[in-house]
Structures are given as structure tokens and as C-alpha cells.
Structure 1
């Protein structure tokens, strides 16, 4: 049985939005498909009030921008990127290429081939999100992708210098100060001034997510569907309500649609966490955003024991799941639906967002039930090859192929097998003569 100390405040949500996001995005994509760079510039002026002579930064401009970034920020970027690089390299090393001989002279193999051209979308707008550069560009480069085009929007009409530094140090081949649907569409479709990519990774607002969804398949591959960030904390009676509240609000500040959920077996922890959230919101500089998320989407659920807590957490299937219990590693066995686990009070979700080295582009809105987050493998195409060097085995496979194909009424397939059975085993077929 679940007791809800705090439920989402649906009354504060207001009327349903009247903006038809799919239609707006479709219109922008179609315009860019038809009019290329002219349409890209039109929408950049409209949405971002941004229309430089060139959206692409030259190497001279990049170096000048980086020179304006404080040394401590550069040093921190390099340290974080080394963490991300180390983990991504370990991931790549875990994906093995192999070849085996399943029968004499019958060779089957697997290779991992990097995607040739990748687009990385680094969101901005409200905040300069340096970490998204590490997670997308750097991971693609570790995978071995030869070319990465990176786009980030201006912030209040200015170039986000810190983000540009992170993009450059991550290894971006081309950097554009361009945001929104127009950036995603330009990368996916290609224009005179922007080379078309094969795959786009990176988070963004509802319009960016919708653009990726609409362009997926025909034009590009994408990393995963993404929505507002989510945090769920499983806490036992030993958890510190101050830590719980602080960590819930760390994600609630992302935006007004960011759910923050606590599941605990302790009503005391639940009640004290609510009190701590209320107190901290009075002094949090981003309270104007975090308070909206907490009011609209914050939840505190009391359950009878931790087994019930883990089961309920799996039903949420949230992006970030933080385990604040005495034995946090139990969650590795008892849970399966999450984007990333953060185990113990020494490990907060913000570490994953900003610096620890695992990727922060993670599944939201229940997508954790069927996919993991962005990782080096997303930038690799695992392809297979086969070779038969033994004549007799080719003939035997030809017989098997012929029988198997005819069971499905695929005569053309069957005859490819027949030809080998005839050539190497002497089998006679009426169609061969």
C-alpha cells in the first residue's frame, strides 16, 4: 500500500497548451528543406534574434572566444572531459569484434564501424550546458566518428563562450552558433553551408525533441527520445532529509516540467523532506523554476518496505534514480527500469549531470523500459560479414538454403542455394538443366 504525502498539483497546471508543436516543427523542416540557408537564417532571426554573417565559427573566432574563458573553467572542462573519455573508452573496449568458424571453411564475423558524420546538439537558452558537449561530441570522437558538427544557440543574443570552449576541447570539427529546430533540420537535411549528418545526438526543448522525432528514419538516426529531466529517490529511514530535499531540487531547477519524486519506507523521512524542500526553496536562486516543478510534479510516496519501494520505482522508470539507503547496491539486483542509478549518499545525480564521467543523455517518460542512455555504442554500427571458403560446406549450405527458402515460397532464394549444391556437390535441378 502506498501513502501519498505529496501528490502532483494538477490544479496548478492551468489549461492545456494550445501550441501545436508538431505542426510548427513540420513547417520549419519543410521550409528548410525547400529554401535551405535562407530559411535557416529566417528562423534564427525569428526565434533567437541571431543573424551573424556566418553561423559557423572560424578557427580564429574559436580561439578568440576560448581566450576569454577563465583558466579555472578551462581546467575544469579538461578534467571532466577526461572522466567522460575514460569511461567511454572502457565502454568501447567492451564491444568486441570477433570472427568464428562455425563449420570448416564457414567464417562469420562482427565489426564495429563508426558513423561517418554526426551532429551534436548542445542546448542553451536558459543555461549554458557545457556538459552536453562532453557527452555528445567527446563520446562520438571516442567511438571514432570522423566528423562531428556541433550546434548551440546564442544566449540572450551572445555567443556562450564557455560552451564553445567545451565543444572545441571535446573535438568538434565544425561549430555553429545556431539553435532550435533550424539547427537540427539544417544538420539533418544539409544546406549549402552545412554538411548533412547521418546521426544527431543531444538533448533539447520540446521543439528540438520533436524535430529529431520527425527527421528520424528518412533523414537521420537519433540517440533517443528525450523529455524534461526526471529524478526519483528511494530512501530508507536512515536517509538525511536535507540531502534528499537538496537532491530533489537539483533536478527540479532544470525546468517547470521536471518531475521530482521520493519513495521511502519512513513517514518521518517523507515529512521532514517536504519541510526541507519548503525551507530550501526560500533561499534557492532558481526557486522561481524549481518551485513550479515541485508544486506541479513533486511527489512523496510512503511504502511499507524497500522491496515495495524498488517495485514502485521500476513502475516510474525514471531517468535518474538515486538510492539513499544503507545498502544501495541492492538496487542493482532489485531494479531494472532506469536511465542511470546513483548509489548512496556520496553519489548525487548532479555528479552524473556535470562531472563524474557517465553519460547524462538518458531516457525519459518511461523510455527506460526499453532503452538505455547515450553511450559510445550509439555512435557505432555493429555490422556482420561472412565468407565460405570450403566448397563442400558451400554445397551443403546450398541444400539447406534451397529447402529453407522453398518452405517460404522464395524460389529465387532457393535457386541461389541450388547453384552451389549443383556446382560443388553435383546435385541436379530441373531448372538448371
Structure 2
């Protein structure tokens, strides 16, 4: 594969995002403190990191109604419309997952002709979920839709939701989105102290079984350390965008859409793979023209300077292969036949096909989930969806005596091949009971009763 770089990521990019503090140690200290001291520790860290220490972190029904009333009606209407989209897609996902029971024939023979061996699958929702809705720079309403609403469509009976204050104020629109999404409890609490409280439980916050939602490096590390004690949705890294474009792509669209994701933070990879040097060069020029008039230029410009890349390849087949190597979170296709990517690509968090579609739609309004794999995790997992909130469990029942006896013989042989004598004897016992086999290890007195 021949690759020509029109723009490299900065050689110091990896160093530029290296933490200046020991994130892991800080997070462990917070979790240990919350585990030992509960609400007292939670309040201490909320005061330290967010300068926030209300009488209660949990919002009352009156608090929630006040937040709803503080939102413009258009904001409420937009939240409801977006949530209808998210709910419809999540429900379609749920409807695609089915319980089933199957009667199998695991053996040859038998006297009554019945199979009598039933295997089944059930999909049970997680009992309690903690949803973390980030704040800090912006009120991230969409994260409420993606985490809380999707859990509710999956059938989760209890969702605890946390979001931080923004500059010491209640983020009214975020609270409205959390409430309308179906949160059973809303706590105005952020950072590691929030995810730790939900994961281990305190006097005022019940322990959950699963944590969902994005966050900063400290929140992500908290989820990593708590994994096992609770489940988590994904290990979240910085937002990523990769665009595959051919000569038909509009460079202004390419430049605009790259910057739309670069504004998430100062460490967002924004990559263009194109078969057209003209499109690549024009995109670079337009990004430099657009940045000065972008209100988030400080973040987007830093990401572009440090992590932006423009690569030219000889063919779309090479572009598909290279894009799969990146395994980006968001992959936008700006080619003459965008649906070709569905056949040619295999590693991505989400595909956005054609100029009429953009990653920002997925982030904010279209209905698919925006909690997606980063840092090449798309090679082995998808994003957050209804299925993440379900536990697929199995059951089995043998009702046919002959079937049980034949399975017993098979189990005895299979277990002894692995030198598991206790397992083998469980099989032997059924073979003796239902087929009349004889085994020396069964006491004589018990053989008579069988």
C-alpha cells in the first residue's frame, strides 16, 4: 500500500497528552475513601473538585420540576423529539433479541421416540444501572438519552443518574433530559466520587450492578478500576473521527465535519483518508480558514495541530483497508458509493454514509447510540446498545428417561477423559437409573433402590 501524507500528526502528540499527575493513584485513593467513609468522602471530594456541597446531592421532585420549568419550551420539545428517535432505535434493537427454547436430539436410540432434552435462553435486564452524564465544559444532554433511555428500553428497573454541576449551577437542560429519559434517581454529583458512590454504595446512594456513560480521564480510570465489582459499558478514550473521501467529496464538508469532532477536546484524532490529493490539500486549507471563526477553536485547533492527519492512497480498496487499521470510533464516508463501506469495512464504532449524514447527527439527534469504542477497540467490540443492559442466561431440562441415560453415558466418558471423576459419577448415576447400567462405585444397597 502506498500512502502519501499531506499532514502528519505531531511527533510529540503522544507526549502532549501524557498526564502530569498520577491519575491511577488519585482515582484509587478516592475509591478507597468512598468505600471506607461513604457520604462523608463523597462530600469531601465534591467540595474539593467541584466546589459543590448542597444539603443533598439527590434532586427532589420539586428540584426536577424547577429544572424543567427553567428550560425554554423549545429545548424541552427538542429533547423529547431526540428521545423519540433514540427510543425507536433502541426498541428495534430490543425486538431483535429473542428468548427461545429448543428441543434437541443429542443421542441415537431411545425407546419412546421423544427427544425430551430442552435447552433455553432468556434475556434478563440488569437490575440496577448507574448512568454518568458528563458536564464540566458543556451540558451533555445527549449522554442522558444514550445511557438512561437505552437502559429503560432494555427493561432495567432502576437507574441512578449522576451529573456534575456546571460552574456551581444546576445544569437545567441536562436534568430535564435525565428525567425525561426515565432516571429513577438524579444526583447532582460528578467525577470519580460519583462513579465510586454508585459502584460501591453509600448511605444515600444504593450500589448499582453496572456503570454506563463517558467521562474525563479520571472517570474513565475509575470505571476501569471498578470493573469486576460492577460491569461497565466501555473503556472510553478521546473522541475520534475518520473520513474516507474520493474525488467527489466536497472539501468544505470534509473540513467542517473534521472540526466538528475536534472540538470535543484537545486530544481528538481527526483523520482524512482520500484517493484525491486535490481534496486533501483543499481540506487542509479550509480547516485553517475555518478555525479562527470557530468558538471552540482553542480545543479544535489543538486537536488538529497535534492529532490531525491527511493521507492519500491510490484506490478506495486501499482506503478501506487503511481505515480498518485505524478502527476509528466514527467513520464518515464521503464517496460516490458510500454504502460500499458496509461491504468493505469491518472495524469501526459507527459508520456515517454520505454527505447528507454527519457524525454530529449520531452524537446528538439521529437515534443511534453515541457511546462507541475508541483506541481501536472497534476491532473487538461495538458500542453501547440495548444488549449491553441484558444478561443472556441459559437453562436446560431433561424430561425423557432414555435421553438422560444416554447423556449420562456420554458425560461419564467425557468427564473421565478429563479426569473429573465426580462429574463422571453424576452421569453414571443417571445411566444406571434410566438405562439399567451398572457401576462398581455405587454402593450395593443403593443399587437395589435404583
Cα distance in 1 for partners of 2:426, 2:16 equals: 65
Per-residue deviation at 1:18?
Answer: 2.8
Does the aligned pair in 1 maintain the 2:17–2:267 contact within 8 Å? no
Cα distance in 2 for partners of 1:364, 1:324 equals: 21
Cα distance in 2 for partners of 1:210, 1:10 equals: 26
Structure 2, gaps ≥5 residues long = 106-114, 444-450
Map 1:254-333 onto structure 2 (within 5 A). 254-333=264-343
Partner of residue 35, structure 1: 37
Question: Are residue 146 (structure 1) and residue 146 (structure 2) matched?
Answer: no
Question: Are residue 171 (structure 1) and residue 171 (structure 2) matched?
Answer: no
Per-residue deviation at 1:16?
Answer: 4.1
Q: Number of aligned residue pairs: give it.
A: 432
Partner of residue 446, structure 2: none
Cα distance in 1 for partners of 2:142, 2:353 equals: 21
CA distances 1:263-319 after superposition (whole Å, capped 9, x unpaired): 000000000000110000011111011000000000000111111111110000000
Cα distance in 1 for partners of 2:407, 2:17 equals: 64
Identify which range, 301-310 or 14-23, moves more after superposition. 14-23
Question: Are residue 357 (structure 1) and residue 367 (structure 2) matched?
Answer: yes
Cα distance in 2 for partners of 1:15, 1:138 equals: 33
Which SS does the other structure have where 1:204 is aligned? coil
Partner of residue 22, structure 2: 20
Question: Are residue 238 (structure 1) and residue 248 (structure 2) matched?
Answer: yes
Cα distance in 2 for partners of 1:302, 1:20 equals: 39
TM-score (norm 1): 0.99
Per-residue deviation at 1:87?
Answer: 0.3
Partner of residue 57, structure 2: 55
Residue 170 (structure 2) aligned to one of 159, 178, 183: 159
Per-residue deviation at 1:376?
Answer: 0.2
Structure 1, gaps ≥5 residues long = none
Does the aligned pair in 1 maintain the 2:331–2:351 contact within 8 Å? yes
Cα distance in 1 for partners of 2:124, 2:40 equals: 35
Question: Are residue 381 (structure 1) and residue 358 (structure 2) matched?
Answer: no
Partner of residue 366, structure 1: 376
Which SS does the other structure have where 1:282 is aligned? helix
Question: Are residue 396 (structure 1) and residue 406 (structure 2) matched?
Answer: yes
Aligned alpha-carbon RMSD (Å) = 0.9
Cα distance in 2 for partners of 1:136, 1:426 equals: 56
Cα distance in 1 for partners of 2:102, 2:325 equals: 41
Per-residue deviation at 1:110?
Answer: 0.4
CA distances 1:223-248 after superposition (whole Å, capped 9, x unpaired): 01111100000000010000000000
Residues 249 and 59 (structure 1), Cα distance of their counterparts in 2 relative to 1, 3 Å cut: same
* Larger-Rg structure: 2
Cα distance in 1 for partners of 2:390, 2:239 equals: 26
Partner of residue 357, structure 2: 347
